[in-house]
Structure 1
Amino acid sequence: MNMSDSAGFNIEDLINVPPLKEDEDMREIKVDQMIGKLRRLQQGKRVLEEEIKEIKSVSDSLQKELATLQNEACQLEGIHKEKEELCRKLQFQCEESEQDSARLLKQNKKSDELLEQYRCEIQEFKLKHRKQRMKFENQIHQLIEQHRNLHSVFTPEMLPDEIGSAENIKSQLLSAEQMKLAQLHHLNEELEEVKKQKQPRITVAQTQEE
Structure 2
Amino acid sequence: MSDSAGFNIEELINVTALKGGGDMQELKVEQVMSKLRRLQQGKSILEEEIKEIKSVSDSLQKELSTLQTEAYRLEGIHKEKEELCMKLQFQCEESEHDSDRQLKQNKKSDELLEQHKCEIQEFKLKHRKQRMKFENQLNQLIDQHKNLHSVFTPERLPDEIEAAENTNTQLLSAEQMKLAQLHRLSEELEEVRKRKQPATAADTQEETFL
Q: Kindly state the Cα deviation for residue 72 of structure 1 after the two structures are TM-superposed.
A: 1.6
Provide the C-alpha distance between the structure 2 equivalents of 1:199 and 1:38, rounded to a whole number of angstroms.
Answer: 103
Larger CA deviation: 39-48 vs 102-111: 102-111
Runs ≥4 residues deviating over 6 A: none
Structure 1-normalised TM-score?
Answer: 0.82
Percentage of pairs with the same residue: 76
Deviations 1:86-144 (A, max 9, x none): 11111111121122222222222222222111111111111010111111111222222
Helix, strand or coil at the partner of 1:156: coil
Kept in 2, the 8 Å contact 1:118–1:187? The answer is yes
Per the TM alignment, residue 57 of structure 1 is displaced from its structure 2 partner at its CA by 2.2
More helix by share: 2
Which residue of structure 1 lines up, in the alignment, with residue 62 of structure 2? 64
In the alignment, structure 1 residue 53 sits paired with structure 2 residue 38: no
For 1:145, the equivalent position in structure 2 comes to 143
8 Å Cα contact 1:97-1:208 kept in structure 2: no
Question: Does the 8 Å contact 1:115/1:194 carry over to 2?
Answer: yes
Superposition pairs of residues 83-102 of structure 1, within 5 angstroms:
83-102=81-100
Cα drift, residue 55 of structure 1: 1.5
TM-score by length of 2: 0.82
SS of residue matched to 1:26: helix
* Structure 2 residue runs without a partner (length 5+): 1-15
- Structure 1 gaps of 5+ residues are 1-18
The one-letter amino acid of 1:61's match is S
Matched, 1:198 2:196: yes
What is the RMSD of the two structures over their aligned residues, measured on CA atoms? Answer: 2.1
> What is the aligned partner in structure 2 of residue 75 from structure 1?
73
Q: Deviations over 1:133-163 (max 9, x none)?
A: 1111112222222222223333322222111
Structure 2 distance, partners of 1:207, 1:82, is: 29
1:165-185 Cα deviation digits (max 9, x unpaired): 111111000000000000111
